[in-house]
Every structure is written in C-alpha cells, then in structure tokens.
A and B are shown apart, each in its own frame.
Chain A
C-alpha cells in the first residue's frame, strides 16, 4: 500500500471558474523523494495545499476524489489532526515567520509548544533540527533580522522539527544562493533516506536530477509526464509545453541535431553533460 495516494482529485477554488486540479491520480511510496515541476498556473501550489490538508479544510471550494496519507483519508480527518503527520513549507519566507517569537530558537519551538511537547524534549529537538539544517549560529537572532534565504531555512527547520511523516515543500529554496540551496536539497535527501516521504515543487531542475527519486510534470492540473528525473526532465514534451528545462539539456538537444551528442539520453546536470560530450569527443 502506497504511503500517499491521490485518486481522481478534482478541485475548484470558491471564486474561480475552472478547476485547478483535474482528475489527478498518483501514488508515492514511503521514503520516496518526489519532485513536481510545471509552468505557472499548473496547480503545483494547490497540489501542495491539498497534500497538506489546506485544500479543502482551509480553502473551501468544490472537491471530488480522494487524498490519502498513511491510510487516512483527508476528507475524514480535520486539519489539526492532518498537520501532525504532514508538514508544509512554502516559498515566501516572510509570511512563514510566526511573529509571536523574538528569537530564531523560540520561533522554531513555536510549533512544538502548540502541540504540547515537554520543555526538555523541545529544547533537544530544536537543537537537533537547527544543526541538521545548519542554522545553529542564528539561534539568538531575531527572525526579522535575517536574509530571505536564512528565513527560508528557519521556515524549513520549523517544519522539520515537528517530524512530519510527509514533508511538502513549495519552492523552499527560491531565495537561497546556489550553495545554500544545494545544502538544503542534501538535508531533504537525507530525511527521505531516513524514511520521511517528500514532495517538493521546484524550478531548479539540475538539483532535482541530482536528488529526487521521481519527477511529476504537471500541466493545467493534470499529469503530463511521470517517471525518473532523467526520463521526465529530458523529454521533448516539456519543451513543447512551455516547461523550464536545464540549459545542458537544451544544449545537448541542439548538439544532437548536428550529430555532436551521440548518447541516447540527454543530460540534465553539468556532470552528465560533461561526461556525454567527453564521450563524443573520444569516439
């Protein structure tokens, strides 16, 4: 039995006219790291809200189909129960700072206070989570004094500390520099290896290729492609449908037309590209 099951999910926001998610179905295994890509308006953020319980428990609107996590149906659960199992971090870091706390350490503990974790355990968990994401040195800073990238790390840490079974991330590294983003991908990969299931919406296709187990390409609320990162991210269909693709993929596709790229599969990352072009030169 898959850990996450979406069955024919269709959803319409209260004031909009056409559905954002249309008859969407997929399965995710426990401990799998799935990346979701898609152009603007594909329904990526709405999918995140649906997995995290906010559709339909927070945003009303019309919903049909089923969302199941760990054998429980979202429709038969309340949002407050749901968030204990499913964590959500999203793009805008400023709006994720609770505002109710004066230091980063207290901010990260906010969620644990809300669910009644005893003080000593709370301290331990906050310290562990902060060292995991590498923000130990920010503990006494005001969350409002941080850069966007640092705030995004705090937001991610604030969710990780709750130890969700399913982690839903909606462009969590958009304001980070490349080194920072790479580190965060590494952390998320590690969480997946320890058994956390991860769904991550992301534009940085090269990192996806490096870290994700599987990619779902979403268009107009439906699955366009689904499969391994190198399968999906190098597909001709992505270009035709206006998805962002890796510059190495585009370069190799051009090279292939001129006969300079000999391999069957196109590259996504720099390493794959370097390796592939090397091969052609040696041949």
Chain B
C-alpha cells in the first residue's frame, strides 16, 4: 500500500499539482465572470485524481484549500473535504470512469435515480416533525409517495432527461461526481455548522435559510443545502474532466 502511494508521486505528478491548483483558481474566476450558479473550483483536483491516482488527488485538494486559505481563511478548515474529493476522483479514475464511454441508457438511469433520491430526501426533510421532547419523526415512504406522486414522477422524468442530454456518454463519470458530491456534503456539514454557523457567505445560503424556515435544525439544514448543491457541482466537474481526458493526446494517458 505504502509503495503504491509512493508510486503516484512521480516528478510529473508533483509538477502537475501546482498547475492543477492554479487551474482550480483560474476556472473559479471564469465561473464568477460568467455569473454561473456553480463553483467548479475543483476541476484541477479531480484531474490530478484521474491522471495520477487517489493519493495525489487528495494531496492536491488538501493543499489547494490551505493555499487558498492564505487569501480567504474560509477555505482552510475544509481542506479535508477537498482532499476527499481528490481521493474519490482517484478511485473513479482507477475504475476507468474517465476513460470509458457509458451507454446512454446507463446515464438515463443514473440521472433518474439521483434526482428521485434527492427529491425523496428533501420531501422527507420538509415533512419531518419534531415533538416537545425533541424527538424527530420522519414520514413513511408510502405516505410520501401517495402525497407527492406527481412530484416523484416528474423527478424521475427530469432525472432521466438530465442523464440523457447532460451526462450523455459520460454517465459513469457523472455518477462518481454525484457520489463524491454527497460525500462532500456529509463531511463538510459539521465544520460548516459548527465553525461558520452554517453559512458560506454565498448564494447557497438562501437554501440554508429555506430549510431553516421549513423547521430544520442548523446541522440538518446545512446538510440538506449541501446535498442539493454539491452533487450537481461535482457531477459537472467530473464531466468536464471526462471531456478533458478524452481530448488529451495518447502520450498523456498511456502511462
């Protein structure tokens, strides 16, 4: 295991990492200029994971946040989240998620399953009730299905459409991105809630406010916010890296 980790850190990898972090920063800037409602600030991190492996990806993510923390300290405490993103990208790369094409029907299934689960999660969250003793009870699945059948059908169709038109042949990469986003949302929520009072100082705070208004606790609202915005953001990042890897000359990916 230790030998494997060492093997990832060739001079090429060490040279690639600063370039990747600079790419994170530069694309983050482009996204702001284009006023897009996403971050896409981990494309470089995902790229290193995909090209060099999970541990190199993890180091890239961690250092990226610590370095950015020199300018805006908000990023620094989340270094472990960025590291996890690079790690996940590396595992995805080892399984060929960035090299292979996915049949389009798989992309359709990935999109449908994801949007369906997300809808289920949010509806369960909004309909949860807390009694006087502080015990939170969630509605049963059958209850939700009968109440929101139309919404669920719409979610599955919308998800399928996202899968077909957006993921296209990169369904596998997109799926890894979605999973990575969920992991990122879960592990970042405690730090966001405890250290920063649940806010990020950006547009996604409106979501936190919405979940708070519907009765969620701070940690739960942050988690819910992350579950809505992170998977989509990471899905797009993984998709972009999938596109990049496929446009690379063979000598880059053949080692």
Contact = CB atoms under 8 A, between A and B. Distances in A.
B16 to A, nearest CB: 12
10 contacts: A13-B251, A14-B251, A14-B254, A14-B255, A15-B249, A15-B250, A15-B251, A15-B254, A60-B255, A99-B18
Nearest to B249: A15
Contacts of B250: 15
A261 B119 CA distance: 89
A15 B254 CA distance: 8
Contacts of B255: 14, 60
Q: Does more than half of chain A's interface fall in helix, strand or loop, or is it mixed?
A: loop
Nearest to B15: A99
Interface in B18-58: 18
Nearest to A16: B251
Interface in A6-32: 13-15
Interface residues of A, number: 5
Interface string A58-71: 00100000000000
Interface in A21-48: none
Interface in A177-235: none
Given A14-B254, A14-B255, A15-B249, 5 more contacts: A14-B251, A15-B250, A15-B251, A15-B254, A99-B18
Interface string B229-255: 000000000000000000001110011
A213 to B, nearest CB: 34
A119 B249 CA distance: 43
A104 B50 CA distance: 35
Nearest to A98: B15
B12 to A, nearest CB: 9
| Residue among B249, B251, B254 having the largest count of chain A Cβ atoms under 10 Å | B251
Nearest to B255: A60
A100 to B, nearest CB: 9
Interface in B86-137: none
B110 to A, nearest CB: 32
Contacts of B18: 99
Contacts of A14: 251, 254-255
A14 B255 CA distance: 9
A99 B22 CA distance: 13
A106 B18 CA distance: 19
Interface in A82-101: 99
A156 B1 CA distance: 40
A219 B255 CA distance: 29
Contacts of B251: 13-15
A13 B255 CA distance: 12
Contacts of B254: 14-15
Nearest to B250: A15
A114 to B, nearest CB: 12
Contacts of A13: 251
A14 B250 CA distance: 9
B240 to A, nearest CB: 24
Nearest to B252: A15
A9 B39 CA distance: 51
Contacts of A99: 18
A30 to B, nearest CB: 30
